[in-house]
Amino acid sequence: SGVGYVDTFLQYIKDKNLPVQLLLSTKANDLIIKDGRVAGVMAQAKNGTKYVLNAADGVILTTGGFGANVKMRNEYDELWGKKLGETTPTTNLPSATGDGISLAKKAGAGLTQMGWIQLFPAGDPTTGATSFKLGENSCIYVNKNGKRYVNESERRDVLAKANLAQEGGVFYVISSAKRALVDKDGRNAYGVKVADILKSGKSYKADTLEELAQKAGINGKNLVETVKRWNEFCKKGTGDEMGRPTCMDDHRLDEGGPYYATLMTPSVHHTMGGVTINKKAQVLNEAGNVIPGLYAAGEVTGGIHGTNRVGCNAVPDALVFGRIAALNFVK
Can you give the binding site for ligand FAD, defined by CB under 6 A?
A: 2, 27-28, 62-64, 91-92, 95-96, 99, 130, 270, 298-300, 312-315, 318
Pick between residue 136 and residue 299 the one whose CB is nearest to ligand FAD.
Answer: 299
Which one from 73, 148, 156, 179 is the annotated catalytic residue? Answer: 156
Give DSSP secondary structure letters for 183-237.
-TTSB-TTS-BHHHHHHTTSEEEESSHHHHHHHHT--HHHHHHHHHHHHHHHHHS
* CA-closest candidate to residue 180, choices 137, 141, 140, 136: 136
If DSSP codes are grouped into helix, strand and coil, which group holds residue 255?
coil
β-pairing verdict for 171-176 and 117-123: unpaired
The number of beta carbons lying within 10 Å of the beta carbon of residue 60 is 22
Pick between residue 77 and residue 299 the one whose CB is nearest to ligand FAD.
Answer: 299
Task: Tell the smallest beta-carbon distance from residue 97 to ligand FAD (Å).
Answer: 6
Pick between residue 151 and residue 267 the one whose CB is nearest to ligand FAD.
Answer: 267
Pick between residue 43 and residue 224 the one whose CB is nearest to ligand FAD.
Answer: 43
Active-site residue, 156 included: yes
**What is the distance between the alpha carbons of residues 202 and 126, in angstroms, rounded to a whole number?**
9
**Using CB atoms, what's the residue nearest to ligand FAD?**
298
**What is the distance between the alpha carbons of residues 132 and 195, in angstroms, rounded to a whole number?**
11
**What is the distance between the alpha carbons of residues 207 and 171, in angstroms, rounded to a whole number?**
20
Task: Tell the smallest beta-carbon distance from residue 119 to ligand FAD (Å).
Answer: 12
Task: Tell the smallest beta-carbon distance from residue 258 to ligand FAD (Å).
Answer: 27
Task: Tell the smallest beta-carbon distance from residue 44 to ligand FAD (Å).
Answer: 9
Pick between residue 189 and residue 224 the one whose CB is nearest to ligand FAD.
Answer: 189
Task: Tell the smallest beta-carbon distance from residue 129 to ligand FAD (Å).
Answer: 7
State the distance between the two ends of the chain, measured CA to CA, in whole angstroms: 32
Distances (CA, A) of 301 to 64, 67, 106, 164, 298: 8, 13, 15, 27, 6
β-pairing verdict for 259-271 and 274-275: unpaired
- Which are the catalytic amino acids? 156
